[in-house]
Amino acid sequence: MNTNLNRRRLMKSAGIALALVPLIAVTREARASSNPAVRTKVKYQDVPMDGKNCSTCLEFLPGKTDTDLGSCKLIPNDDEISPNGYCSLWNTM
């Protein structure tokens, strides 16, 4: 009888764990965020300016691919920076 109880407890735990997997995946995806206050301060825009864009800036941290959103070392808590974007902090040195 003790074996059946342990088996039931294991099956219940496994079921709960499987049910939480999609929730964890959705929560991870929902963590993308922007920092509008700093964006305004540095005059961030989603389009390049005078041939300058985030993907050519030393402060840009690219996303998984060249076209995915990335982040900037100088804009904290913002991982929605466009590689085609631009701000007044653009730097190549």
Please check whether residues 12 and 40 belong to one and the same domain: no
User: What is the pTM assigned to this prediction?
Assistant: 0.65
Neighbours of 13 (CB within 10 A): 10
Question: Do 48 and 65 share a domain, yes or no?
Answer: yes
**What's the pLDDT tens digit per position in 4-39?**
667 777 777 766 766 766 765 555 555 678 999 999
| The predicted structure's pLDDT at residue 33 | 87
> Is 68 strand, coil or helix?
coil
Rg for the chain (alpha carbons), in Å? 22
CATH number of domain containing 89: 4.10.490.10
What is the domain extent for residue 7? 1-31
Residue 88 shares a structural domain with residue 57? yes
Do 23 and 57 fall into the same domain? no
Q: Which of 88, 4, 5, 84 is nearest to 41 (CA)?
A: 88
